[in-house]
Chains A and B, each alone.
Chain A
């Protein structure tokens, strides 16, 4: 059996092919490195850079939000003493007996006879956060007293809508009918989203 001498055979190969082979092997090795090592490294670096940039943007936004909240808080503190007026204007839930007391009280002051007060059409929103109650008040009195009575109701701080006013004259006095809608608002803490989300978590 003839023994092959590779060194001798290799020496007879054209040097150009040898250099081609070296270059080809280098290209293959580079490709493998590029695909299996450099690419994952670059991807990881890119992911980290992206996460940092995202964190910086969120941080900037949150800082602005905090500054704005501080300014808003300062504004609220400036007007703190006026805030209870909101509760008067738009109470938690319309308190019918209180409203009826209020009407009868101002009617009494203006010498108005309140004949009937009916509360009708109680509406609540589907979320249970607001309420509307309609009142129909039948009253009688002289013209000036009725005028003052209506003026008092109009200037009441409580948020209300005068739906209808009708006044008719009988023999010695005026008879009136007044339809009013009053509103209430109930704060619903469940309506505020309190979900905590990861701020700087990379979503793969």
Chain B
């Protein structure tokens, strides 16, 4: 086995290693929540505008 063949093998191994790392980074590092789940899980506002109820209360007294 010559030096150049060995170098080719070594580069192949290096390339495969780089590709595996890139593939993992590309597909499994970013957490993306599907839209339909996001729709259900998105928190709602905890405040309810009761101004209208107060106005109705005042009006009902008239």
| B5 touches which of A24, A35, A43, A58 (Cβ 8 Å) | A24
What are the nearest 4 A-B pairs in CB distance?
A46-B28, A68-B46, A71-B46, A61-B41
- The distance in angstroms between the C-alpha atoms of A50 and B13, with both chains bound, is 27
Chain B residues within an 8 Å CB radius of A57: 31, 33
Q: Complex: how many Å from CA A76 to CA B47?
A: 10
Q: Is the interface of B mostly helix, strand, loop or mixed?
A: helix
Contact between A58 and B33, CB atoms less than 8 A apart = yes
Return the CB mask of B31-43 against A: 1 if under 8 Å, else 0: 1011011011111
Residues of A within 8 A of B (CB): 17, 20-21, 23-24, 27-28, 30-31, 34-35, 38-39, 42-43, 46-47, 49-50, 53-54, 57-58, 61-62, 64-65, 67-69, 71-72, 75-76, 78-79, 82-83, 85-86, 88-89, 155, 157, 193, 195, 197-199, 203
- Within B1-44, the residues touching A (CB, 8 Å) are 1-3, 5-6, 9-10, 12-13, 16-17, 20, 23-24, 27-29, 31, 33-34, 36-37, 39-44
B30 to A: closest C-beta gap in Å: 8
Contact of B53 among A17, A72, A82 (CB under 8 A): A82
Given A34-B13, A157-B56, A197-B36, CB of A20 within 8 Å of CB of B6: yes
Give chain A's interface secondary structure class.
helix
Which of the residues A42, A67, A199 comes within 8 Å of B24, measured between beta carbons? Answer: A42
Q: Which chain A residue shows the least CB distance to B48?
A: A75
Complex contacts, A46 vs chain B, CB 8 Å: 24, 27-29
Contact in complex: A67, B59 (CB < 8 Å): no
**Contacting pair A157 B44 (CB below 8 A):** no
Residue of B nearest to A20 (CB): B1
Task: List chain A residues, Cβ under 8 A from B9.
Answer: 24, 27-28, 31
